[in-house]
Amino acid sequence: MSDKTMTADEAVARLHSGMTLGIGGWGARRKPMALVRALLRSGITDLTVVSYGGPDVGLLAAAGRIRKLVTAFATLDSVPLEPHFRAARERGAFELAEFDEAMFMWGLHAAANRLPFMPVRAGIGSDVMRVNPGLRTVTSPYEDGETLVAVPALRMDAALVHMNRADRLGNAQYLGPDPYFDDLFCEAADEAYVSCERLVETAELTKDAAPQTLLISRHSVTGVVETPNGAHFTSCVPDHDRDEAFLRHYAGTPWPQFAERFLSGDEGAYQRAVAAWHEEQT
């Protein structure tokens, strides 16, 4: 069995412009932010991004890297609408396909199971069908003859997710309250890159935790990146909470100023800049 460890920059070097990229997590919770920051340091652009959106979407939208966004929302949780996403959307910077949360989930399920679509009731009678004219309906082949929405599979070229623990083989574990569908992102993508707070030996993954926390299996993982505090400023409980003060600073700072101070160097420079900012606030 092979060692799949790599750096964030090595993982991003395997990606390319024009691809469909899935990003795991949920809003401002357990986002693979170190990988997103590495993506911003690259020249990769023209992306179709599939995400339960948070600051990952905001950063990429503000930097002009998104061609199309497929999402159910874009939020910072405590700030209901991601402001940099909103600004980019208001100026028509990218195409948007907005699904109901359940429709999005079933699109991931369809892709993970290599199905072309999944029939669901969600969306019937709502504006989801109006704002997504490409969506189609299907009729049940059984006696009920019910009309259902055919949610297309959300297939991805690559996925980025962040977990609490992982081993070198690609098995990965969450220790917080919710898996956030990260396993589906990995299974729905041709390649998947898992960042983690800490690399551990395989035996440690379930030593002090329930077996069901071992969410992601090595068969669906291409690369593993150890990134302590790599979800910052989103939460990755129990390792760290959301950095609420910095989140609000991000939300209220014009993009050029934020990018110049916090995104002009490597990940180490980012973490040092954040620490310096916190010192200034005390």
- 108-141 pLDDT, tens digit each: 999 999 999 999 999 888 999 999 999 999 999 9
- 76 and 173 inside one domain: yes
Residue 257 maps to a domain? no
Instruction: Report residue 190's pLDDT band, with 50, 70 and 90 as the boundaries.
Output: very high
pLDDT above 80 for 1 = no
The token duo for 67 is 């061609």
Assign 95 a pLDDT band (cuts: 50, 70, 90). very high
Q: Are 135 and 201 part of one and the same domain? A: no
Number of domains in the chain: 2
Helix residue ranges per DSSP H, 63-100: 83-90
State whether 37 and 168 are in the same domain: yes
pTM metric for this prediction: 0.96
State the CATH number of the domain containing residue 196: 3.40.1080.10
Tell me if 179 is assigned to some domain: yes
pLDDT of 75: 98
Provide the pLDDT for residue 207. Answer: 82
Q: Is residue 53 situated within a structural domain?
A: yes
Mean pLDDT of 206-229: 92
Measured distance CA(9)–CA(38) in Å, rounded: 6
Please report the pLDDT score of residue 24 as a whole number. 98
Q: What is the pLDDT of residue 64?
A: 98
CB of 208 closer than 8 Å to CB of 198: no
pLDDT value, residue 240:
97
Range of the domain at 18: 8-115+154-244
What's the distance, CA 57 to chain centroid? 8
Cα 261 from chain centre = 24
The amino acid present at 132, given as its one-letter code, is: N
User: pLDDT tens, 196-213?
Assistant: 999 999 999 988 778 889
- Distances in Å between the alpha carbon of 139 and those of 120, 144, 150, 178, 276? 11, 9, 9, 34, 59
Q: Interhelix angle for 33-41 vs 267-281, to 10°?
A: 120
From its phi and psi, is residue 98 left (phi > 0), alpha (psi between -120 and 50) or beta? Answer: beta
Same domain membership, residue 13 and residue 62: yes
Summarize pLDDT for 156-169 with one digit per residue, the tens: 999 999 999 999 99
The mean per-residue pLDDT over the stretch 92-119 comes to 97
